[in-house]
């Protein structure tokens, strides 16, 4: 019993630490991607050219798709939007929607 205890405790602690780290990273999904927007839309998307934070999920994604399709003219964002994959746009949209 005593032997097993010694083995299990460090193992359990490592598991807890790993799980905490995974949770932290799930919460951060899309954050680093979204930070590409901050230079022109402010830290956390809260200003600059247009505030892009706190929209309903899917709104920024839809906008980016419109840029990609050329529905917004031939400005900088039309070119820029073409740099991101669909999955990346979904992830950054989701994260930005959580920023109030």
81 binds another protein (CB under 8 A): yes
* Pair of tokens at residue 67: 């840029």
- Verify binding: residue 49, another protein, rule CB under 8 A: yes
Task: Note whether 36 binds another protein by CB under 8 A.
Answer: yes
Which of these segments, 1-9, 35-43, 56-64, binds another protein (CB under 8 A)?
35-43
Task: Check residue 19 for interaction with another protein (CB under 8 A).
Answer: no
Tell me: does residue 63 bind another protein (CB under 8 A).
no
Residue 15 within binding range of another protein, rule CB under 8 A:
no
Q: Which residues contact 35 (CB under 8 A, 6 or more apart)?
A: none
Residue 35 CB-density burial (10 A; 0-12 exposed, 13-18 middle, 19+ buried): middle
């Amino acid at each position: 019993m005593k032997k097993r205890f010694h083995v299990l405790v460090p193992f359990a602690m490592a598991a807890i630490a790993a799980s905490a780290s995974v949770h932290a990273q799930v919460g951060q999904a899309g954050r680093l991607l979204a930070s590409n927007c901050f230079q022109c839309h402010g830290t956390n998307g809260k200003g600059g050219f247009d505030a892009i934070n706190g929209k309903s999920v899917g709104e920024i994604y839809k906008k980016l798709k419109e840029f990609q399709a050329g529905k917004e003219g031939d400005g900088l964002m039309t070119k820029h939007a073409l740099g991101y994959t669909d999955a990346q746009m979904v992830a950054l949209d989701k994260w930005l929607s959580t920023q109030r």
